[in-house]
Every structure is written in structure tokens, then in C-alpha cells.
């Protein structure tokens, strides 16, 4: 396994961006993209020539296979991404209005990342990186993810891997009290 400069853990999703500036109920065409807070970070790093890896679980469906191929095509190591049966790949729709404002509507009741556990995190994968990048978004999606991120950070510390943390606070995902306790 080739050493990575940075790896991250998170959710990958399909985003449908409105092709017109109006309420979604009036939109007839969308541009399909692949994203997610941590994945967007990985894509940016990879495009800068940084060797990246992404730990995730994605639905074993057409959107999941599309996302996996896209991620691989971005030059990101996908060896720690698994396609999961019976969990749909998350999707969202972005509404953009004439004044530039907008909203995002998420559809992810059953996330494929729900099957991630502390045991899913490969110690060897973390050991072979320089930086483990974590975010508050993955922590906010499911309270058990906090334990996964703590476990990954402990493995990083054990192997002298630097840890970076972006709180990326999303108030819609959790309350202020939960944010402070989770961070």
C-alpha cells in the first residue's frame, strides 16, 4: 500500500444542482455531482497533487457505483470504500434562487455509513498516512460516528500521524449543546 499524504472519513452522496434559478417545484433539469464535506476536501487535495484516501461506505446501487468510479477517477484511493447492499446512496437537491440564495434538501434516512464501526477503521491504513483529516459533519450525522472518529484519532496518535479537524458546524444537523459536547 502506497503511503497517503492525507485520508479522511465520511459520507459520499449524489448532489443534483438545479439548472435554473427557481423553486425546485419548477425545476425540470439538474446537473448531477458527487460530493460530501469530507469527500469534497479529498477531491480538492487530490486535484492539488496530494495523495489522498477516503474511508466510507456507499450504497451498492447505480448512484453508489457512479460515485465510486468518480472518486477513483479523481485519483483518490478507494481501497477503504465498500459498497453496501440494502442501504441507498445518499442524495440531495440544491435549489438556487434568482437572488443567489438557496437551500439544500437531503434524502438520507438510511446511510450506508451506518455500517461503519470502530473495527472498520484499518490501523494499517491510518499508520500509512501523514495526516488524518476529520470533520464535525460526519460526527453530526450519527452520534456513533463520534466514537469512530475518536478511535481513528487514537490510532493516528499511536502512529504519530497528525490529525486535523474542521468543525464544519451544521446547525441543522445537531443542537448547539450537542455540538459543544461532540467536539
Dist CA 34 CA 71 (whole Å): 8
User: What integer pLDDT is reported at residue 5 of this predicted model?
Assistant: 95
Beta bridge partners of 77: 53
Dist CA 183 CA 170 (whole Å): 12
pTM: 0.86
Residue 156 in this model has a pLDDT that exceeds 90: yes
C-alpha cell at position 120: 472498520
Q: Read off the pLDDT of residues 51-94 as tens digits, 9 standing for 90 and up.
A: 999 999 999 999 999 999 999 999 999 999 999 999 999 999 99
Q: Give the range of the structural domain holding residue 162, as residue numbers without chain letter.
A: 4-182
CB 84 within 8 A of CB 60: yes
Residue 179 in this model has a pLDDT that exceeds 50: no
Q: Read off the pLDDT of residues 105-115 as tens digits, 9 standing for 90 and up.
A: 888 778 999 99
Dist CA 13 CA 29 (whole Å): 18
User: What integer pLDDT is reported at residue 54 of this predicted model?
Assistant: 97
User: What integer pLDDT is reported at residue 98 of this predicted model?
Assistant: 92
Dist CA 116 CA 169 (whole Å): 22
Dist CA 132 CA 161 (whole Å): 7
Residue 1 in this model has a pLDDT that exceeds 60: no
Residue 95 in this model has a pLDDT that exceeds 90: yes
Domain count within the chain: 1
Q: Indicate which CATH number applies to the domain containing 167.
A: 3.40.1190.20
User: What integer pLDDT is reported at residue 48 of this predicted model?
Assistant: 97
User: What integer pLDDT is reported at residue 46 of this predicted model?
Assistant: 97
Amino acid at each position: 500500500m502506497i503511503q497517503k499524504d492525507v485520508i479522511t472519513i465520511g459520507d459520499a452522496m449524489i448532489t443534483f444542482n438545479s439548472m435554473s434559478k427557481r423553486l425546485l417545484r419548477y425545476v425540470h433539469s439538474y446537473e448531477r455531482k458527487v460530493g460530501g464535506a469530507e469527500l469534497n476536501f479529498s477531491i480538492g487535495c487530490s486535484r492539488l497533487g496530494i495523495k489522498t484516501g477516503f474511508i466510507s461506505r456507499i450504497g451498492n446501487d447505480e448512484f453508489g457505483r457512479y460515485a465510486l468510479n468518480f472518486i477513483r477517477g479523481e485519483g483518490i484511493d478507494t481501497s477503504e470504500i465498500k459498497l453496501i447492499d440494502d442501504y441507498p446512496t445518499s442524495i440531495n437537491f440544491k435549489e438556487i434562487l434568482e437572488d443567489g440564495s438557496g437551500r439544500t434538501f437531503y434524502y438520507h434516512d438510511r446511510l450506508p455509513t451506518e455500517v461503519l464501526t470502530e473495527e472498520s477503521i484499518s490501523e494499517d491504513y491510518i499508520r500509512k498516512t501523514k495526516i488524518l483529516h476529520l470533520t464535525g459533519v460526519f460526527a453530526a450525522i450519527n452520534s456513533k460516528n463520534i466514537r469512530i472518529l475518536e478511535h481513528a484519532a487514537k490510532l493516528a496518535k499511536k502512529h504519530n500521524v497528525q490529525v486535523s479537524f474542521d468543525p464544519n458546524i451544521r446547525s441543522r444537523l445537531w443542537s448547539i449543546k450537542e455540538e459543544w459536547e461532540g467536539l
